[in-house]
Amino acid sequence: MKRYSRIQLLGLITSLLGILYSCTKQDYFYKDFVDTRIKHYAGKADSAKALAGDNRVRLAWLITDPLIDGAVIYWNQKKDSLVVSHPLGIDSWEADIEGLAETTHTFVIVTKDKNGNRSIPVQVSGASFGDKFRATLFNRSINNLVFANGVLTIYWNPESAEHAVGTEINYVDSQGANRTLTFPMDQTVTQLEGFKPGTTFTYRTGFKPATHAVDTFYSDLNSLKPELEELLDWSKFAEVRLPTDTYQQHPSLLTSMDKMWNDDITSTSNLFLTVPGLSPIPQWFTFDLGAPASVSRMRLWHRATWYYNLGNLKHFEVYGSNQPNPDGSWESWVKIGEFHSHKPSGLPLGQTNQQDLDYILAGEEFVFEKNLPAYRYLRIKTLEVWGTVEYVCIQKMQIWSNIE
């Protein structure tokens, strides 16, 4: 057995004491920084989203832990926070963060359960919009207004503005009831039933800065009191035969005057056509509108397939009267318009291009002076036709009148 001297025993004891002291210090340090207990975390906010709004952002998330009963939301580098509570057992929740500046914000969601446990943080970013975005918005534009049978039809120009989602219209109908219509941007024709002439309607366009934004932003409200025209009702029209009128219908085609008061623009025989060679140009005919009207516009279509040729009107005058002289004389008539038909291409007789066809197939429009007196009877005097013939033909005719 090995023997140790006193000096060796003293050194060994000193070494053992040093080791024990060293272990004690390390264990103390470890315990100070490591929690040996099992940590319980609440279920975190799942599939969190930040939805854009008007000076706000709406946070939405799913809840998979049935013990979750609320959350704490932090933003602005944790300088601001919001505590929310909700019932147990729900599967989703949302919260609005109000009063935000118009910029992108980062949010941290920490859910908590009924036992006080908190989840790991979930970060999500979203933008808030306000007056800066609103200042970029503008209303969609109107192409045309048509009033007929108590209905105001609005024809909108096609709209491609980014973020535009729809239009809202407000008006008071002829019975005094307030009406509001909303419709999407791809709707290009809108009808206001029971619109009262002489009144105003308002409209504005809605925008969403993002696909799933929670708020709709609107352009400034436009107010419009339209100068209305009414498309006159064909069913009230009737031909009038006065002694000096040159009109006689074609004997075989039976092309009476009423055949131009329909929507047929393709048939070469379903039209108004006078007897060829019966009377030289100028020729004139008379008809009754059914009631006095302040004529504002007239639209004419050329005979199908014979565009800018034959007896289609090239230069003509329109007269009005409320008491035509039975003898057919001109003393009781007032000239209210003189018009020339237009051929866009300027090509000679017998030649047309696509521009000519597009123009005439849409119906050629002739606009009268504003605020003409109301006349019940019209007389159209043809001074020149497009062809070299001695007759007059009109495929289709529409007439509008001023309202108030």
For residue range 150-177, list pLDDT tens digits in order. Answer: 899 999 998 777 899 999 999 999 999 9
Cα–Cα distance between 313 and 273 in angstroms, integer?
11
Strands 122-129 and 164-172: unpaired
Q: What is the pTM of this model?
A: 0.61
pLDDT at 38: 66
For 272-301, give the DSSP string.
Answer: EEBPTTSSPSSEEEEEEEEEEE-EEEEEEE
Domain map (residue ranges) of the chain: 46-129, 134-226, 234-402
Q: In CATH, what number does 234-402 get?
A: 2.60.120.260
Coil, helix or strand at residue 358: helix
**In the predicted model, what is the mean pLDDT of the chain?**
90
For 161-206, give the DSSP string.
Answer: -TTEEEEEEEEEBTTS-EEEEEEETT--EEEEETBPTT--EEEEEE
Q: Quick one: DSSP state of residue 118?
A: B
What is the topology classification, in CATH, of domain 134-226?
Immunoglobulin-like (2.60.40)
Q: In this structure, what are the phi and psi dihedrals at residue 158, rounded to the nearest 5 degrees?
A: -55, 140
Coil, helix or strand at residue 21: helix
Cα–Cα distance between 8 and 15 in angstroms, integer?
11
Structure tokens at 176: 């005094």
Confirm whether 46-129 and 134-226 share one CATH topology: yes
Of the chain, the percentage scoring pLDDT greater than 70 comes to 90
**Partners of 152 in the beta sheet?**
147, 192
For residue range 291-346, list pLDDT tens digits in order. Answer: 999 999 999 999 999 999 999 999 999 999 999 999 999 999 999 999 999 999 99
Q: Which of 8-22, 101-115, 307-321, 384-398 has the lowest mean pLDDT?
A: 8-22
Give exposure, 95-133, as e/b (b: 16+ Cβ within 10 Å).
Answer: bebeebeeeebebbbbbbbeeebebeebebebbbbbeeb
Cα–Cα distance between 377 and 311 in angstroms, integer?
23
Cα–Cα distance between 75 and 125 in angstroms, integer?
10
- Superfamily, domain 46-129: Immunoglobulins (2.60.40.10)
Structure tokens at 83: 């505590």
For residue range 100-147, list pLDDT tens digits in order. Answer: 999 999 999 999 999 999 999 999 999 999 999 999 999 999 998 888
Q: Are 133 and 162 in contact (CB under 8 A)?
A: no
